[in-house]
Amino acid sequence: MPVLLEIGLPLVIVTMGLGGAMMVHWARAQGEREASTRRRLEVVDRMTRGSERALDPDPAASLDGLRLLGALHDDQALEPEDDEFVEEIANVVISARFGDAPSDGPLVLGTDAGPEGDQNPRVVLPHELLAAMLVVDIATTQGRAPSVLASRIANASPADDSPGPVAPEPGPLRRSA
């Protein structure tokens, strides 16, 4: 009987140790999968909120949404398909008012494009500038040429009475509660 204990006890100990190690490995792998899924859901949620805000007709709300989308792009939190989606959202923002803009003549940065019915097509608003900069950045990152309209808007010159570009760079992401 003691010989059986001498052989059986080490086998039981090794088997239990191996089983414990396998359970720890499985638990860590499961936790990592859940964490990456959770991060992806947070990014998609932020991207959805940013897209909804970017398409808002209010220029201030649109600027906030574009800042959020720009921050996600700058932090490289987006996947390639997400970048294409963000680029389309930004294209919609700039083509909403500039779709029929004259293709010649300079564009100037400003904060007011005029009354709703009589908007000056040569004045670039801050949210439009940020959208154009986002389109140019994403296209350049992916090795493509940006649209002509986005390039023209991104290269708009400051108005004579303006101190410089009015669209600030996207800031860092803030964690929400």
Q: Domain range for residue 140?
A: 2-158
Q: Is 169 inside a domain boundary?
A: no
CB 134 within 8 A of CB 69: yes
Q: Is 125 inside a domain boundary?
A: yes
Using left for φ > 0, alpha for ψ between -120 and 50, and beta otherwise, residue 176 falls in beta
pTM for this predicted structure: 0.67
Q: Is 171 inside a domain boundary?
A: no
User: Per the structure, how many domains does the chain have?
Assistant: 1
Q: Is 111 inside a domain boundary?
A: yes
Q: Is 78 inside a domain boundary?
A: yes
Q: Is 29 inside a domain boundary?
A: yes
Q: Is 132 inside a domain boundary?
A: yes
Q: Is 82 inside a domain boundary?
A: yes
Task: Tell me the pLDDT tens digit for each residue of 98-114.
Answer: 775 556 667 888 877 56
Task: Tell me the pLDDT tens digit for each residue of 131-147.
Answer: 999 999 999 988 999 88
